[in-house]
Amino acid sequence: MSTVQEIKTAIEALTPQERAELERMLHQPAAEPPTVRLPDYAARRRRILGEKVLPNLVIEARGER
């Protein structure tokens, strides 16, 4: 089904029970998306480099320092 008319025709062809089920499904609240836990990049950086501060090579290459 790609047009509104085709969808409307298909809905009108449903039995009353099927139409009630469709309406119930359409009015259900959307399920909340799962919470994604992002990695702690700062902790990883500290684990690898300690407290060193690396120079920003992009800024140095542009001559903005």
- Cα–Cα distance measured from residue 14 to residue 5, given in angstroms and rounded to the nearest whole number: 15
Quote the domain boundaries for residue 20: 4-31+38-62
pLDDT digit string, tens, across residues 1-12: 679 999 999 999
For 32, residues 6+ apart whose C-beta sits below 8 A from its C-beta are none
Q: List alpha helices for 13-62, DSSP H.
A: 16-27, 41-49, 57-62
The predicted model scores a pTM of 0.41
Total domain count, the chain: 1
DSSP 8-state code for residue 21: H
Picking from 8, 9, 25, the residue whose alpha carbon sits closest to that of residue 17 is 25
pLDDT digit string, tens, across residues 16-58: 999 999 999 989 888 888 899 999 999 998 999 898 888 888 8
